[in-house]
A and B are shown apart, each in its own frame.
Chain A
Amino acid sequence: MERTGSQSKSEHPGQEDIAPRDSVFLELSGVSKSFGGIHAVKEVSLKIRKGEIVGLIGPNGAGKTTLFNLITGFLRLDSGRVLFTGKDISHLYPHEISRVGIARTFQFPKIFNNMSIIDNVLAGALKNSKDVVHCRKTAETLLETVKLVRYANDPPSALTIANRKQLEICRALATSPQILLLDEAISGLTPKETSEMTDLIMKISAQGITLFIIEHVMKFIMNISQRVVVLHHGQKIADGSPQIISENDDVVEAYLGKKK
């Protein structure tokens, strides 16, 4: 396991943290999941430190989204454990995972189409407060950061894919998470939109939120991550800095023809 000497990008010394800086925040230990005879995830262990930006890459079908679903309670582990700030969260329901401080987005954005754009984000903010007026303000602030606030009362039906991803991120951030799991951060985005998303992710990290990001696009992940975990056929085949990963033979082989 590579120690990367990761620095938290937080600029807030003396911030009240649940875990001190650089300590292990999210830990997977021997996590496995099979569907029928297929090992979707096999004995995956990894550690994420508070404040890190960690990338999760691998070819299609490698088990990345399955891993996210296992962490966030949407799938039950066959074996192994998931620990968050030292506490075993392996058997929690998705809504309990959220309450512990873990937020996520989905491979294909799951927007509430029956609610306005701001109400989508409001729904997330309600996790921490019953006051609808207060939560609306929180939602407005979040929408401002992605320049969507002028569409606040519109239905989400006319949003572009980039906007939908941004909306989903705002909604997840509204729950004030400690760690954010992003599934397919930039798939379907133009280069300009990708650049905006990168800025957004760096802003989120600067606020002290730990990030675990799934993405196929190598260039993006290598650029944004402090550390990269590589999955192939459900198993972890590499874990280290972007530099080390890009020179790893196994990784190159797994991705033959897939580099962008």
Chain B
Amino acid sequence: MAKRNYFSLGLPLFALLTLMGILPILSSHHFYLHMLTLVYIFAFFSQAWNLISGFGKQFSLGHVAFFGLGAYVTGILYADYGISPWVGLLLGGVLGALLSLVIGIATFRLRAFFFTLSTIACAEALRVLITYWRLASTGLGTTIPSKPGLWNLSFETEIGYTYFAYFLLVIIVFVTARMIHTRIGFYLLATGGDEEAAMSLGINTFRIKLLVFGISGFFTAVGGGFYCMYTRYVEPSIAFNIDFSVQFAVFTIVGGIGTIAGPIIGSALLVPLSTFFRSWIGGLFTPIGYFTYGILLIVIIMFMPGGLMKGIASLSKSLRGRA
């Protein structure tokens, strides 16, 4: 069903995005805005992951490679060379796209398993590489100076960062929505649905996968650059931590993999939840917090394997009395 109104978004999604645009001005409490910023930026990252791994069904567990690449390009160019983070964001994005091309060309003609493995390996390789490069020169962590100004991507007030994250999220949602309703989107879904059948319809699945993976890598790297400017600190063990790769996947899966709203819903639920479980519950016994969070995720997936979006859809169907 082509939804030609609301710029290719459905009404619910458009309403959700509008609501999210209003939320930041409701309070200036630091923790509130910090949570919103994290929800928006993780929704952004998860959506980028969702493009190739959800719609395209090429399961990546190494997306942190792009994240860290973008973070480092942006962070180092600004902290060490004073180059504007906007340039860093763009350059990081381009390098992220190139990296995804390299991985894709090497693995997209092989069985899917090799792609997943390669993404993990690539992230790890980058982590080790950057660790030893920085260790040898300036020490592991790099603090990003904060000189407020739009050109420096530094904001005096927290809300600037929140709206920047929101801005990124809106962009990727629109890109996704547009794509899904055009030929590339159908070809991507077909490739994910059954690659051989897709090929038999004249679809160059290799090219489609490269294209979408490139877009995913680009956006993830751009987001990584923003994240670095937001947290004002970049370090290999953080910037290339597999934790991020897993979170992008988990948030999307819980929200509803292969749907446009899924990553948003998943992040909206799990960013606050994971923060809660990781830092509040347990106190001294933080392992309990992680453990409980893990159990909760398992329970959600067991009862709603299609994620929250599918769960909501089937719930509304049964409420309306349809089989």
Please list the residues of chain A having a beta carbon within 8 angstroms of any beta carbon in chain B.
72, 74, 93-95, 97-99, 103-104, 106, 110-115, 119, 122-124, 126-127, 130, 132-133, 136, 153, 168, 171-172, 174-175
B193, B201, B205: the one contacting A124 at CB < 8 Å is B201
Q: How far is the CA of A217 from the CA of B205 in the complex (A)?
A: 34
Q: Is the CB of B197 within 8 A of A126?
A: no
Q: How far is the CA of A115 from the CA of B1 in the complex (A)?
A: 11
Given A99-B202, A103-B200, check contact A113 B186 (CB 8 Å): no
Residues from chain A with a CB closer than 8 A to the CB of B183 are 126, 130, 132
Q: Is the CB of B190 within 8 A of A110?
A: no
B204 within 8 A of A: yes
B194 within 8 A of A: yes
Output the nearest chain A residue to B181 by Cβ-Cβ distance: A132
Residues from chain A with a CB closer than 8 A to the CB of B39 are none
Q: Is the CB of A93 within 8 A of B199?
A: yes
Residues 176-201 of chain B, each 1 if its beta carbon lies under 8 Å from chain A, else 0: 00000111001101101110111111
Given A112-B190, A115-B189, A132-B181, check contact A106 B196 (CB 8 Å): yes
Shortest CB–CB separation between residue B13 and chain A, in angstroms? 18
Q: Is the CB of B187 within 8 A of A113?
A: no
A93, A97, A110, A132: the one contacting B197 at CB < 8 Å is A110
Most buried by A among B1, B190, B192, B202: B202
A98, A110, A122, A132: the one contacting B202 at CB < 8 Å is A98
Given A127-B202, A130-B183, check contact A115 B190 (CB 8 Å): yes
Q: How far is the CA of A171 from the CA of B258 in the complex (A)?
A: 22
Q: Is the CB of B194 within 8 A of A112?
A: yes
Q: Is the CB of A171 within 8 A of B186?
A: no
Q: Is the CB of A123 within 8 A of B182?
A: no
B203 within 8 A of A: yes
Q: How far is the CA of A103 from the CA of B200 in the complex (A)?
A: 7
21 contacts between A and B (CB under 8 A): A74-B196, A93-B199, A95-B204, A103-B200, A104-B200, A106-B196, A106-B200, A110-B196, A110-B197, A111-B193, A112-B198, A114-B192, A114-B193, A115-B193, A119-B186, A122-B186, A123-B190, A126-B183, A132-B181, A153-B1, A174-B201
B189, B192, B200: the one contacting A98 at CB < 8 Å is B200
Shortest CB–CB separation between residue A112 and chain B, in angstroms? 3
A93, A95, A106, A112: the one contacting B193 at CB < 8 Å is A112
A97, A98, A123: the one contacting B186 at CB < 8 Å is A123
Q: Is the CB of B200 within 8 A of A72?
A: yes
Residues from chain B with a CB closer than 8 A to the CB of A95 are 199-205
B2 within 8 A of A: yes
Q: Is the CB of A98 within 8 A of B199?
A: yes
Residues from chain B with a CB closer than 8 A to the CB of A126 are 183, 186-187, 201
List 12 additional A-B contacts (Cβ < 8 Å) besides A106-B197, A113-B193. A72-B200, A95-B201, A103-B200, A111-B197, A112-B197, A114-B258, A115-B193, A123-B198, A123-B203, A132-B181, A168-B197, A174-B201
Q: How far is the CA of A112 from the CA of B190 in the complex (A)?
A: 6
Given A122-B186, A123-B186, A126-B186, check contact A171 B201 (CB 8 Å): yes
Shortest CB–CB separation between residue B244 and chain A, in angstroms? 26
Residues from chain B with a CB closer than 8 A to the CB of A113 are 193
Q: How far is the CA of A174 from the CA of B187 in the complex (A)?
A: 14
Which 5 residue pairs across A and B have the least CB separation, nearest first? Answer: A112-B193, A98-B202, A110-B197, A94-B199, A127-B202
Q: Is the CB of A127 within 8 A of B201?
A: yes
Q: How far is the CA of A106 from the CA of B203 in the complex (A)?
A: 16
Q: Is the CB of A133 within 8 A of B2?
A: yes
Residues 256-287 of chain B, each 1 if its beta carbon lies under 8 Å from chain A, else 0: 00100000000000000000000000000000
Given A114-B192, A114-B258, check contact A123 B201 (CB 8 Å): yes
Most buried by A among B183, B199, B200, B204: B200
Residues from chain B with a CB closer than 8 A to the CB of A174 are 201
Shortest CB–CB separation between residue A142 and chain B, in angstroms? 13
Residues 213-252 of chain B, each 1 if its beta carbon lies under 8 Å from chain A, else 0: 0000000000000000000000000000000000000000
Residues from chain B with a CB closer than 8 A to the CB of A130 are 182-183
Residues from chain B with a CB closer than 8 A to the CB of A104 are 200
Residues from chain B with a CB closer than 8 A to the CB of A72 are 200
Output the nearest chain A residue to B4 by Cβ-Cβ distance: A133
